[in-house]
């Protein structure tokens, strides 16, 4: 039977793709070969070429210069999320560091250059650790030759890009995941202050996406009318008009040379749409899974996507918008997929409190039951379990273990009201939904309720620990990867620019300390009597390893079986391929050992 390693994709990608101006290449970040690097691949097909790799650096965002002669990218050190900006020639060579000053979070604009390539736009919290400013850097001048735009109190700026006529800078003003405003900065008037263009519409999500080619306005995503829709803001009329509205969320949008492309999250599955010459075409056949990144070539005839399906791990594909042909530019398929047919999930729902229902994905092994079950909780919490390829799931299914992955309260994809249910209620309504997940499993004789384990990473790790500590079930095992154990310290240690967001979504560590502590797994650690696996990055800037240390010590002092490993060169999750394989191989072996091997 294939080991876990045979199910692991041969490379992982960061969610950033960039066409060269001539559309002949796509630049991207991947850990092919084991370590993160900047790569380019021909859009016509051919072998990828490594453009830059720096020891210990994780490449995150990528963008071509307008003349196509170089690529800029951000990179942090071993996952510490302190990003620097670099530039490298398209033919390779040693990258040049463009940023100076203290370590901080630097974020490139989605389209970071002006039309000439002279100015580079990014955000940084170098002036004040709690504030994310916008910076417009003159690349022809001396280091530090830049214009700085400061946000109003409580707002963190993320730049979108400069208008094609080089007059305006477009940016998002972030307060929380559901409260984002659109800001416009006049680049002709040096003293001009940022203007919020969406204040008149009240509190909602307004997320700028792309400029119209004639600079007359910009496209954005908004939940002003319910589900997230695509809209257009006309600068002359100062009017916001819907462009695409459905009973599902619009997620990705780009425009180029008369082409508009967007994706819609339909029950977790991404459907790609394009509009040219006022004709809208749906492209459902290219995706039975998730499109996490979408970008158009400058001539509007090609779309590059990161596409992830249950039967094939995430890959870079280029879609020809003239004939609808999708060409994969990478091949990350592991060896197991050449011998085993992956199992796609079934979409189900179950009842919970307040007459709500929870949508979930159920993966059933092919052999007869009753099956042990892994209850898998996604991260976030403002994220969504979706039909992707998961090496861990497919490996466990091959051993006769079912996987149940619910989208509990707080998940995205079901409207902002559902998403906000968890605000300032972590360990409350979400835990109730997980309790009802267990009740649902108990009504199906195909599942062995004496052999259920719970698993999650980041917020999912918190949820898994909460299940073990606070729900009255005979759990077979639990796994927490970078999972918070103390909500007070999680709130205190959040990145400084997240202060307002954390206060809104989680709670304030001073005024809400009593509630946060009452919901923290560490408070209820003495109720955990289940074998536990804990995996943690030593450089994690969000969930310090000390939290995992304290939980492990508490449990081991009571004689509870705890397997614990700290990865010294990782942050919040795994970016180094060898570490990822080691971590999830341990996870798979641990779960199979405690759930039993039902393979036949």
Q: Which residues pair with 304 in a beta bridge?
A: 295, 318
Copy the structure tokens of residue 441: 């499993």
pLDDT for the residue 503: 87
pLDDT score recorded for residue 144: 60
The residue among 451 and 321 whose pLDDT is bigger is 451
CA distance 351 to 356: 6
**Mean pLDDT over residues 151-163, rounded?**
91
Distance from C-alpha of 262 to C-alpha of 293, rounded to nearest angstrom = 10
pLDDT digits (tens, 9 = 90+) for 344-394: 999 999 999 999 999 999 999 999 889 999 999 999 899 999 999 999 999
**Which residues, other chains included, contact 94 with Cβ-Cβ below 8 Å and sequence gap of 6+?**
88
Q: What is the pLDDT of residues 176-212, one digit of tens each?
A: 777 899 999 999 988 889 999 999 998 889 999 999 9
pLDDT greater than 80 at residue 548: yes
Give residue 600's pLDDT: 55
Whole-angstrom Cα distance, residue 552 to residue 537? 15
Q: What's the average model confidence in pLDDT over 494-510?
A: 83
Q: What are phi and psi of 100, to 5 degrees?
A: -130, 175
Of 348, 303, 350, nearest to 322 by C-alpha is 303
Comparing CA positions, the residue from 124, 123, 55, 59 lying closest to residue 88 is 59
Q: Give per-residue pLDDT as tens, 35-87.
A: 899 999 999 989 999 999 988 898 999 999 999 999 999 998 877 788 899 99
> Averaged over 286-311, what is the pLDDT?
91
pLDDT at 40: 96
Task: Give the chain's mean pLDDT.
Answer: 91
Over the stretch 385-407, which tens digit does the pLDDT of each residue have? Answer: 999 999 999 999 999 999 999 99
Instruction: For Cα atoms 433, 437, 443, give the angle at the middle one, nearest 5 degrees.
Output: 140
- CA 190, distance to chain mean position in Å, is 35
Contact indicator for 296, 259 with CB cutoff of 8 Å: yes
Lowest mean pLDDT among 65-74, 101-110, 224-233, 299-308: 101-110
Portion of the chain with pLDDT greater than 70, in percent: 99
User: Domains along the chain?
Assistant: 13-254 (2.120.10.30), 336-595 (3.40.50.1820)
Confidence at residue 300, expressed as pLDDT on a 0 to 100 scale: 92
Q: Which helix H or strand E contains 481, and what residues bound it?
A: strand 477-481
pLDDT band at 143 (very low <50, low <70, confident <90, very high): low
Q: What is the mean pLDDT of residues 270-278?
A: 90
Q: Look-up: residue for tokens 């918070």?
A: 484
Q: Which two tokens stand for residue 576?
A: 């180094």
The pLDDT of residue 573: 83
User: Model pTM?
Assistant: 0.86
Separation CA 373–CA 20 (nearest Å): 46
Q: What mean pLDDT comes out for the span 569-574?
A: 84
Q: For 119-144, what is the mean pLDDT?
A: 87
């Amino acid at each position: 039977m294939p080991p876990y390693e045979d199910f692991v994709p041969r490379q992982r990608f960061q969610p950033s793709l960039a066409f060269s101006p001539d559309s002949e290449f796509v630049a991207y970040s991947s850990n092919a070969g084991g370590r993160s690097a900047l790569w380019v691949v021909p859009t016509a097909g051919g072998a990828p070429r490594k453009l830059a790799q720096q020891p210990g650096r994780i490449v995150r965002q990528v963008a071509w210069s307008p003349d196509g002669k170089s690529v800029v990218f951000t990179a942090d050190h071993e996952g510490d999320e302190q990003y620097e900006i670099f530039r490298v020639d398209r033919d390779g060579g040693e990258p040049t560091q463009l940023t100076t000053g203290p370590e901080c979070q630097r974020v490139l604009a989605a389209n970071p250059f002006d039309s000439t390539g002279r100015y580079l736009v990014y955000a940084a919290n170098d002036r004040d650790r709690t504030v994310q400013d916008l910076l417009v850097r003159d690349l022809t001048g001396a280091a530090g030759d830049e214009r700085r735009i400061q946000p109003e109190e409580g707002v963190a700026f993320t730049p979108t890009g400069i208008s094609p006529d080089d007059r305006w800078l477009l940016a998002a003003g972030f307060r929380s995941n559901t409260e984002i405003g659109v800001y416009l900065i006049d680049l002709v008037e040096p003293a001009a202050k940022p203007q919020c263009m969406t204040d008149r519409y009240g509190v909602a999500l307004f997320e700028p996406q792309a400029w119209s080619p004639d600079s007359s306005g910009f496209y954005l995503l908004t939940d002003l009318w319910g589900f997230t829709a695509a809209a257009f803001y006309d600068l002359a009329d100062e009017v916001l008009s819907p462009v695409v509205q459905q009973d599902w969320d619009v997620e990705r949008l780009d425009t180029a040379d008369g082409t508009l492309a967007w994706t819609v999250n339909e029950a977790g599955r991404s459907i790609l749409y394009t509009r040219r010459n006022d004709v809208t075409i749906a492209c459902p056949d290219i995706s039975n899974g998730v499109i996490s990144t979408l970008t158009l070539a400058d001539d509007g005839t090609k779309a590059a996507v990161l596409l992830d399906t249950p039967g094939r791990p995430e890959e870079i594909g280029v879609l020809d918008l003239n004939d609808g042909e999708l060409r994969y530019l990478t091949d990350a398929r592991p060896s197991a997929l050449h011998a085993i047919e992956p199992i796609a999930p079934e979409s189900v729902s179950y009842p919970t409190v307040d007459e709500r229902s929870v949508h979930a994905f159920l993966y059933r092994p092919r052999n007869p039951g009753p099956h042990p079950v892994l209850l898998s909780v996604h991260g976030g919490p403002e994220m969504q379990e979706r039909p992707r390829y998961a090496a861990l799931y497919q490996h466990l299914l091959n051993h006769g273990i079912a996987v149940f992955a619910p989208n509990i309260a707080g998940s995205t994809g079901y409207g902002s009201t559902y998403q906000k249910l968890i605000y300032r209620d972590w360990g409350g309504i979400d835990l109730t939904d997980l309790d009802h997940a267990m009740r649902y499993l108990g009504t199906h004789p195909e599942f062995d309720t004496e052999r259920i384990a719970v698993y999650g990473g980041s917020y999912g790790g918190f949820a898994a620990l909460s299940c073990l500590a606070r729900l009255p079930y005979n759990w077979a095992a639990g796994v927490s990867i970078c999972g918070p154990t103390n909500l007070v310290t999680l709130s205190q240690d959040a990145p400084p620019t997240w202060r307002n967001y954390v206060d809104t979504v989680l709670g304030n560590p001073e005024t809400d300390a009593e509630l946060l502590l009452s919901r923290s797994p560490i408070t209820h650690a003495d109720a955990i009597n289940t074998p536990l696996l804990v995996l943690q990055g030593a450089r994690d800037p969000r969930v310090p390893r000390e939290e995992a240390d304290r939980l492990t010590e508490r449990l081991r002092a009571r004689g509870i079986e705890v397997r614990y490993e700290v990865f010294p060169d990782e942050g919040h999750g795994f970016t180094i391929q060898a570490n990822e394989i080691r971590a999830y191989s341990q996870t798979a072996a641990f779960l199979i050992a405690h759930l039993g091997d039902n393979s036949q």
